[in-house]
Structure 1
Amino acid sequence: MNFSRTLFPLSMLLLSGCVVGPDYQKPDTALPAKFSESKATSSESVALNPWWESFRDKRLNGLVHQGMAENLTVQQALERITAAEANVIIAGAGALPNVGLSAAGNVSGQDGSYLRRNSITAANPDGSDHSQSKSMNAGLSASWLIDFFGQYRRQREVANASLDAAYDDVGVARLAYLSDLVSSYVSARYFQEALALNRKNLVSRRETLKLTNEIKEAGAASSLDVLQAEGLVNQTLANLPALETGFHQSANHIATLLGVPAATITSSLIKGASQPMPRYSTRTGIPADLIRNRPDIRAAERRLQAATAQIGVAEADLYPSIELGGSIGAARNFNARVGNLTSWSFGPTLSLPIFNGGALKAQVKIARSDAEQQYLTWKSTVLNAVEEVENAQTALIRDYQTVAAQRKVVDTFDQTLVLARESYRGGASTILDVLDAERNVAESRLALATAIRQLARDYVALNVAIGGGAEIGAATVVVSK
């Protein structure tokens, strides 16, 4: 008897330490040692790198920091953390005893008259019945499902991994906000630059039209020359509305990203500024750094961990479960001579799945399939991240080359226009030479502005691709597990 009393608690202790289901292992995938156009040097964490400050634009810096706390997408991601934290509490509560208290009071009676033999008494001479009964009862119940096979421990693992993913989702939302805001600001400044260039071209083409009229009056130009010069003036005027629309739409989108109504900040951007041009280069590190720096990769890994733990939750349903339960109740009837009654009960309940049509095993297969899908999602996220960095880096390197070459093109065509006008005044060339030179100048200047915009946008894409700035403005939270 003493042996059995010792063996039973020991067996319970051993069973309570059993956890079914696979233990999570960090995933791995083959990655190149370096990016194709950078050195094989690992970089530090870029999560707190304010890369947009490389543009040296105070207005842009102010907008970025203003939107960190106001962007609605980021706020939604932060709110999802609250729900994930509540799920952690729910998962932990499942392994704890459940205690409940109940109380009830009852008053009943009857009022009426009836006829029956001997129903008329001294107390009720008219045969009526007036009776009332009062009672009260209270009870305390408790139950505890013993976690023999680690079901609740796996559920806590699922909840904690999901909470980590929710924090990483905030980083994903923050990167999307940074990319959208800075790119929209770059576009707004581009449209302003394009407007300024077209207005400058308009002044130049009006000068050419004036010169053509003067030469016509002198008898050295034809009406066709005047019409051609006038056509370029009108063409330039036709370009302005679309550029103004582009600026206003970019400014409106910036306002939306800041969580304010459209056109709220347009007036503050009307005063033009130079196009944003990055002043510093970006260290991309190596592909393996992305697993540490990219919040979407970390979130995908946390969801893989949650899916892996869910297999253990499903497998635990295949095994027996024991629930310890008990209750204590007390009742009082105020009409009875002996009105107090106390009762209690205690005992285990064994649940053993015997036949369920294969549903429980199917749930395990579903959980394993979900985990495999999450692994494939993680691997796809990693490979897409490597591709994004490769594409942005390749484009950015060539953008610098394009901008440098385009500046030389602008200088060349500027000199060509000066020479064409002098030659036209002297009668050595036609108006077509001047118009062609003006057209080349206008197109080359706009091409330079477009190249600068593309360079800035690829700079944004590269920094977002490596996870730069994902944790700026994030509060440090320590979650107990």
Structure 2
Amino acid sequence: MKIARSLLPLTMLLLSGCVVGPDYKTPGAALPAKFTESAGKSAGDTTLDPWWEDFRDKRLNAYVAQGMNENLDVLTALERITEAQANVVLAGAGAWPQINANGAGTVEGSDGSLLQRQTGSSHTQSKNLNAGLGASWLLDLFGQYARARESANASLDAAYDNVNVARLAYLSNLTTTYISARFFQEALALNRLNLASRRETLKLTEDIRAAGAASSLDVVQAEGLVNQTLAEIPPLEIGFYQAANSMATLLGVPAGTITPDLLKGGSQPMPRYAAKAGIPADLIRNRPDIRRAERTLAAATAQIGIAESQLYPTLTLDGTIGAARVISATTGNLTNWSFGPTLVLPIFNGGALRAQVDIADSQAKQQYLAWKQTVLNAVEEVESAQAALIRDYQTVAALRRLVASNEEALSLARESYKGGASTILDVLDAERNVANSRLTLAAAIRTLASDYVALNAAIGGGSAIETPVPTPSPTRVASAEATK
């Protein structure tokens, strides 16, 4: 009796249930109040900002819309949501009673002369019908399944964020590749323009030589510059076709599919507005990779509780009900049942269970460090992209003035050469300067546009636009805190 009274409080404690393991707390990061070269004003929610429309390129907008639901990386990430939803169901299934039914039927008989002598009949037969119902319920005394559901729900959140990570990467890659394709087209157009100019210089040199005012060396030098320009065209064509093929893959269609459309031509994309970087704190809510890392940390933290729950006793309630009917010379029914708890106490396991706790704890710490690194990388990406973009605008403005100056210098050099006041080398040098400055300007515009993309991607711009989110699953359950 004394033993029963002493065990009663322990029994009531076990049946009341508790949740072991650390409760998750959202981590914090020490971030500066503003970026180095920004005004320190929040940009708000950038996840719905269609920044690619700032290029005012209808064809680019059409490609982005086309690929929104066709990019294979995004579709794969969406399918992982279905997997994560199923894992939520799986994580919570063990907390419910498990009920199984069974049934069986047999027919038995015998023949022989011995039966004839003993019973007067040479044949006997009996039929046995059995049916049963079994139930088992593992009581979640220390929150094993509560923590499992908590971990699964956090992983489901991470799967949703992973879709936006894939979508942001798609937007960045597609737009940057489109910018590259247009750069190669612009470079090809400039080279063909340079080729026409150098052929004009070659003809001018041949005419002057025919008049006896130029040498064959002048003609050969002018001809060499023409051939050099011809040699520069094929590599640019290769670059264009590679960019077009890469775009097709990003859009989820075979390579070469969109090349005819791109060959129709178009100007180099140039952003019409300045991107607003916001403040570092904006990144915590706008960057999908940071949100994914935080949710992964939450899932890992819940795993500590799962591991700790294995250190404590488990209590299982088992019960069975069976019925049998025998049809033979003597017919009858038989019913049996059983019910009882099973308590398992982990006593000695060589330290394996404690090691599992240490492993889970270490993995959670690793996820925290990964989250912190993701935050720091995001701040670095914004700082670098913003610093580059500010100076890109300055570079493009200076190069535009340089191109204008070189074009004027070329015109003056030709007039001077016609009048005999300068040599062919002056003209050829002026043509090289024009060609190089034009190509350098085109490359600078490409860099500016790419850095504009990089800055918008770094602040999480547009990551949640047109994300086809599956219907909210009824499998989401309350967190461990709510179940305590």
**Normalising by the residue count of structure 1, what TM-score does the alignment of the two structures yield?**
0.94
Instruction: Work out whether residues 33 and 280 of structure 2, in 8 Å CA contact, stay in contact via their aligned partners in 1.
Output: yes
C-alpha distance in 1 between matches for 2:266 and 2:397 = 21
What corresponds to 1:32 in structure 2?
32
Given the alignment, which residue of 331, 345, 366 partners 2:338? 345
What corresponds to 1:179 in structure 2?
172
Question: 1:26-425 counterparts in 2 under 5 A?
Answer: 26-109=26-109, 123-124=121-122, 131-335=124-328, 337-425=330-418
Q: CA deviation at 1:250?
A: 0.6
Instruction: Work out whether residues 115 and 121 of structure 2, in 8 Å CA contact, stay in contact via their aligned partners in 1.
Output: no
Q: CA deviation at 1:106?
A: 2.0
C-alpha distance in 1 between matches for 2:384 and 2:72 = 29
C-alpha distance in 2 between matches for 1:400 and 1:447 = 14
Deviations 1:447-480 (A, max 9, x none): 0000000000000000000000110112455454
Q: What are the ranges of 5 or more consecutive residues in structure 2 without an aligned counterpart?
A: 478-484
User: What code does the residue aligned with 1:39 have?
Assistant: A
Query: What percent of counterpart residues are identical?
Result: 69
User: What code does the residue aligned with 2:238 have?
Assistant: T
C-alpha distance in 2 between matches for 1:13 and 1:320 = 12
C-alpha distance in 1 between matches for 2:461 and 2:396 = 25
Taking structure 1 as reference, are residues 17 and 241 closer, same or farther at Cα in structure 2, changes over 3 Å only? same
C-alpha distance in 2 between matches for 1:224 and 1:248 = 38
C-alpha distance in 2 between matches for 1:25 and 1:451 = 46
Instruction: Work out whether residues 187 and 247 of structure 1, in 8 Å CA contact, stay in contact via their aligned partners in 2.
Output: yes
Q: CA deviation at 1:17?
A: 4.0
Taking structure 1 as reference, are residues 226 and 136 closer, same or farther at Cα in structure 2, changes over 3 Å only? same
C-alpha distance in 1 between matches for 2:198 and 2:246 = 34
Q: CA deviation at 1:391?
A: 0.6
Deviations 1:238-293 (A, max 9, x none): 11111111111111111101111000111011011010000011111111110110
What corresponds to 1:430 in structure 2?
423
Deviations 1:320-366 (A, max 9, x none): 11111101011122225133211100110001000100100000000
Q: Secondary structure of the equivalent of 1:33?
A: coil
Q: CA deviation at 1:104?
A: 1.5
Instruction: Work out whether residues 424 and 430 of structure 1, in 8 Å CA contact, stay in contact via their aligned partners in 2.
Output: yes
C-alpha distance in 1 between matches for 2:160 and 2:51 = 22
Which deviates further from its counterpart, 330-339 or 245-254? 330-339
C-alpha distance in 2 between matches for 1:462 and 1:121 = 98
Instruction: Work out whether residues 322 and 349 of structure 1, in 8 Å CA contact, stay in contact via their aligned partners in 2.
Output: yes
Taking structure 1 as reference, are residues 269 and 282 closer, same or farther at Cα in structure 2, changes over 3 Å only? same
Taking structure 1 as reference, are residues 391 and 336 closer, same or farther at Cα in structure 2, changes over 3 Å only? farther
Q: Secondary structure of the equivalent of 1:279?
A: coil
Instruction: Work out whether residues 72 and 259 of structure 1, in 8 Å CA contact, stay in contact via their aligned partners in 2.
Output: yes
C-alpha distance in 1 between matches for 2:24 and 2:320 = 40
C-alpha distance in 1 between matches for 2:106 and 2:118 = 29
Deviations 1:64-117 (A, max 9, x none): 011010000000000000000001111121111111111122234456x6x889
Taking structure 1 as reference, are residues 228 and 117 closer, same or farther at Cα in structure 2, changes over 3 Å only? closer
Q: Secondary structure of the equivalent of 1:461?
A: helix
Instruction: Work out whether residues 277 and 452 of structure 1, in 8 Å CA contact, stay in contact via their aligned partners in 2.
Output: yes
Q: Secondary structure of the equivalent of 1:69?
A: coil
C-alpha distance in 2 between matches for 1:393 and 1:211 = 48
C-alpha distance in 1 between matches for 2:448 and 2:424 = 36
C-alpha distance in 2 between matches for 1:67 and 1:121 = 85
Deviations 1:194-236 (A, max 9, x none): 0000000010000001111001111111111111111111111
Q: Secondary structure of the equivalent of 2:69?
A: helix
Deviations 1:128-147 (A, max 9, x none): xx554422211111111111
C-alpha distance in 2 between matches for 1:472 and 1:108 = 70
Given the alignment, which residue of 456, 465, 473 partners 1:463? 456
C-alpha distance in 2 between matches for 1:338 and 1:108 = 14
Cα RMSD, aligned residues only: 2.1
User: What code does the residue aligned with 2:22 have?
Assistant: P
Instruction: Work out whether residues 16 and 146 of structure 1, in 8 Å CA contact, stay in contact via their aligned partners in 2.
Output: no
C-alpha distance in 1 between matches for 2:428 and 2:110 = 110
User: What code does the residue aligned with 1:210 have?
Assistant: K
Q: Secondary structure of the equivalent of 2:103?
A: strand
Deviations 1:26-78 (A, max 9, x none): 11121111111101112211011000000000000010011010000000000
Which deviates further from its counterpart, 210-219 or 100-109? 100-109
User: What code does the residue aligned with 2:378 have?
Assistant: A
Instruction: Work out whether residues 109 and 133 of structure 1, in 8 Å CA contact, stay in contact via their aligned partners in 2.
Output: yes
User: What code does the residue aligned with 1:90 have?
Assistant: L
